[in-house]
Every structure is written in structure tokens, then in C-alpha cells.
Amino acid sequence: MSRSGGPPYFADRIAEMFRKVLVANRGEIAVRVIRTLREMGILSVAVYSDADRTSLHVRMADEAERIGPPPSSESYLLIDRIIEAARKHGAEAIHPGYGFLSENAEFAEACEAAGIVFIGPSAASIRAVGSKTEARRVAMAAGTPVTPGTEHAVTIEEARAFAGEYGYPLILKAVAGGGGKGMRVVEREAELEPAYRLAASEAERSFRNADIYVEKLITRARHIEIQVLGDRHGNMIHLGERECSIQRRHQKVMEECPSPLVAMYPEMRREMGEAAVRAAAAAGYHNAGTVEFLVDEDRKFYFLEINTRLQVEHPITELTTGLDLVRLQVEIAAGARLHLKQEDIHWRGSAIECRIYAEDPYNDFLPSPGKITRLNRPLGPGIRIDAAIYQGWTVPIDYDPLLAKLAVWAPRREQTTDRLLRALREYDVGGIRTNIGFFRQILEDRDFRAGRLHTGFIEEFFKRNAPPKMPREYAAAAALAAALHASRVTENATAAAASSPSSSAWVQAGRNDLLR
């Protein structure tokens, strides 16, 4: 490749790499992709909504294009506007990141129709596994085990009939779902109808598709995913597993590689890896993707879904394999033949990632948008931070509250846990609430230390752990500061009343929340 050095991932070197790539995303993943593009000598184009005008990904890119107002439905989800921006700036390819349009077959087709390379799988592959029920059929055809469930969308009566055959608990899922949206666990008959209506309503809002299917719930399951990678020439390998069992509202918040369970039973990696490759190959897959499984208490694994994009948690695979997944994505999209064989993939050490959110874990994980008044990041050996925040930046209320991903590597899991705990103690984000303190509690938990993980871990954690208490002297200081702030707010409000006909209810609500 004329512009891209680095490890010899491919047998045939490409005569000419892309000259310019548009990144159809925002936040930390946009920054992550731009960094690799810069290393490869490829120019980057950022897109942004009005809410992201001062965001870091806009500042870092070589070029940038406004695509609309803050709502994603009027900016980041507008296919025509993204394509138009790519044409205007002369981008030859588009990297979708994750979320937004990354798993949208229509977007992949629109790129192809415009003569722009979509850095991801084909539209046909996205369609083949984009529907959860269709993905189950693909997996079954490939000989991959699946949980008992329906192979099509169901009515409430059909869901009730399924429960009569397989019993409770069961789980309702959006056919077009992802990110934990449109999912409801049903423990008993009385919960079924309201849960079905809520799941369908959320699915309609999130995916414009209210179809729901049903599966038998595997209790105390572990969520383990396999990273797969394939080129356009039929070569497919896997890059090992990631344990993603620590979740809130069916969404991952903490991941690690290798899985503590798989580390004890290495044959599981081979068996799950082979099953993942079969399922992906059956869908005609190329580029980076993830095949996800649930594992029961008897270590039996069952197909869950295929994610046709780069995952949020990809850094821990990079830390343990030494590979750059974004670089691999770009090179595969440019037509290169994968040089790596399965026997070339080796895993070294242990890595754990925490998703740092602007949210309050002790108040039902409610988002906490606002201005970042203070920012101190951890440093030292084995620490990686993927982020798009800076001191003085205002976290918008319009998008997912993910601020950063803190990933830590060490030779052994125990060392990784200790290093991550030290890093979290150094990580300081002021002006908003975050889940940093919550992660500190988890890392000190005996069950986490012992690797006893499952998808209900957080619920059980809250039952046996109280929220951390503020030291008495700090509480007194905070109360005094709040009183002084309230006094100033009152004085300012009185002074402003003469010149302002009304005050913003939004601002006042924010002040009241801060005082609480």
C-alpha cells in the first residue's frame, strides 16, 4: 500500500489506498476512526449536527460538513445528507462506526449506488442477519445452536402459546432490535401482555418496526461474543471472545477479554469460534462483525445475534491481539485479501473495558448532560482511553451519554483489575454525574474478582451493596457550597426579574437538580 505501513495483515499489497474517507458518526468512535485514517495517510471528513459543532471529532478531522439540527432523525440518520456530504468532499468511502446507520442495508445500498465504498459488510449480508429472526434461521442452517424461540414475529396470543409450551421466564425481543431496545423479560403470565405492548412500542419508536419475537430466557446466562473478520475473497477467521455479561437494561457497560470462563476451558474458544465463523460465512459476511452467544450454567452456548459492524468494545480485542480492527476494516473494504490465518491469531494477557457514561447509576442510570468543568485522565502502563470529550465541552442531551471508554491491559486478570481500579481512582470528570464511582465498587466486589459473572450481575450487585457514602466532612462542605450557590441563584434571579419577563424552566430544573 502506498500510504499505509504497519503489520503485514494482507498477502497482496494494494496499489492505492483510499485518498479520503467520510466518517458517518460522532463522539469517541468518530475520533477513533479518524486516528487510524491519519496513521494510514488517508484524509478524513467529519459530519456534525448543530449540537456537535464544537465536538472533538469535528476539530480533529481534515474536513467537516454540517448535516442538520441536533435530532439524529434530522442529521446522522439522513442517508441522502450523508451521501451528499461524501460527494461534496470527494470521499471515496464511508466508515459508519457503530449505531446510527452502521447496520442499515439501505445506507449500504445508497453508498454503492453513489459509487462510494461502504466500509462494512454487503447490504445483502446486513439484511440476512439484520432481522433477529432471520439471523436465527441463518445460524440454525449453519449448525449453530440456538435457544428455543420463534422464527418469526408473534402476536400476543402466539407469545402466550409459546409460554404454554416452554414455560416462564421468557424474553420478548424486537425483530429489528439492538442496544437493548424493545426487550422485556417476562417472569409470569400476568406480566406478558403489558410487557409485549411496551416492547412493541419501544421497538416502533427506536426502529420504526413494532414486530416482536419470543425466546426462552436462559437464567444467570453469560453473554459472550466472538469477533469475526472476513475479506471479500471468502477468507474468514475469528479473533477470540469478549465477556459482556455486565449489563444494565440489556446494554453492556463493562467487557473483558479473555472471558474468565473461557480462560478456564480453552476448548470453548475453539468451539464457539468455529460456530461463529460458520454462522458468518453462511450469511456471506465480509469485514468486521460479531457473533454473540448466551452461555448457560452448564457451559452450553446458544446463538444470540450477529452485529454487522465494529463493536463499542473492540479495544480490548486490539489490546490482547495487537491488531488494529479499524485498519483491517479499511483495507478489506479496499479489496485486500486477508493474509492472517486462524493459527496466526494469538492472545496475550488480559484486558477490561469500562464504558464511562454521563449518568447516575444510583438513580436508575438517568443521563446527566451538562458542561464538563474539570477533566483529569488516568495515565500509566497498559491504559487506553477512547474519548471525544474535553474540559469546557457540554455533553448534549440529544444523544447516547457515552463519554469515553477506559480500557486497561495487564499480563493477568488480577493485575488488570488492580490496574483498572487505580486508573478509575485517577479519572476525574467534574460538572456532571458519571458511573466512574460505580465501576470502582464493582472492581472491589468479590464475585467480580472471582469471575462469577452473568447478565443479572448488576441487579444482584445493587441488592448486596449500598451506594457509596460521602465522608461527613465532605458532605458538610457540599451542603455549605449548595447553600451559597442557592443564595447566589436567588440573588441573580431577583436582579434579572426586572429585565427578563420569564426564566427558563429547563435552566431552573437543572439548577434544582444540581442543588439536590
Could you tell me if 482 and 416 lie in one domain? Answer: no
Could you tell me if 309 and 408 lie in one domain? Answer: yes
The rounded Cα 260 to chain-centroid distance in angstroms is 21
> What is the three-class DSSP state of 100?
coil
The span from the CA of 322 to the CA of 231, in Å, is: 19
Could you tell me if 395 and 429 lie in one domain? Answer: yes
Q: For residue 309, indicate whether it is catalytic.
A: yes
Residue 483: the pLDDT is 52
**CA 501 vs CA 409, 493, 494, 496: distances in Å:** 56, 11, 12, 9
Residues 6+ apart with CB under 8 A from 30: 23, 46, 57, 61, 97, 388
Contact 297, 220 (CB under 8 A): yes
Could you tell me if 84 and 160 lie in one domain? Answer: no
92: CATH: 3.40.50.20
Which one of 157, 185, 216 terminates a domain? Answer: 216
Could you tell me if 459 and 362 lie in one domain? Answer: yes
Tens place of pLDDT for every residue, the chain, 516 residues? 334 444 545 544 444 689 999 999 999 999 999 999 999 999 999 999 999 999 999 999 999 999 999 999 999 999 999 999 999 999 999 999 999 999 999 999 999 999 999 999 999 999 999 888 889 999 999 999 999 999 889 999 999 999 999 999 999 999 987 778 899 999 999 999 999 999 999 999 888 899 999 999 999 999 999 999 999 999 999 999 999 999 998 899 999 999 999 999 989 999 999 999 999 999 999 999 999 999 999 999 999 999 999 999 999 999 999 999 999 999 999 999 999 999 999 999 999 999 999 999 999 999 999 999 999 999 999 999 999 999 999 999 999 999 999 999 999 999 999 999 999 999 999 999 999 999 999 999 999 999 999 999 999 999 988 777 655 544 454 445 445 544 554 454 444 444 333 334 444 444 444 433
Please provide the DSSP assignment of 291-307 as one string.
EEEEE-TTS-EEEEEEE
Classify residue 160 as exposed, middle or buried by CB count within 10 Å of its CB (0-12, 13-18, 19+).
Answer: middle
The span from the CA of 49 to the CA of 53, in Å, is: 6
Could you tell me if 370 and 295 lie in one domain? Answer: yes
Residue 466: the pLDDT is 78
Could you tell me if 353 and 478 lie in one domain? Answer: no
* pTM of structure: 0.86
369: CATH: 3.30.470.20
Contact 227, 244 (CB under 8 A): no
Residue 178: the pLDDT is 75
Residue 321: the pLDDT is 98
Catalytic one among 222, 242, 309, 413? 309
Residue 512: the pLDDT is 44
Domain containing residue 508: 472-515
Could you tell me if 211 and 228 lie in one domain? Answer: no
Quote the number of domains for the chain.
Answer: 4
Residues 6+ apart with CB under 8 A from 390: 56, 372, 375
Does 211 map to a domain?
A: yes
Residue 490: the pLDDT is 45
Could you tell me if 208 and 242 lie in one domain? Answer: no
Does 132 map to a domain?
A: no
Residue 470: the pLDDT is 55
Could you tell me if 316 and 432 lie in one domain? Answer: yes
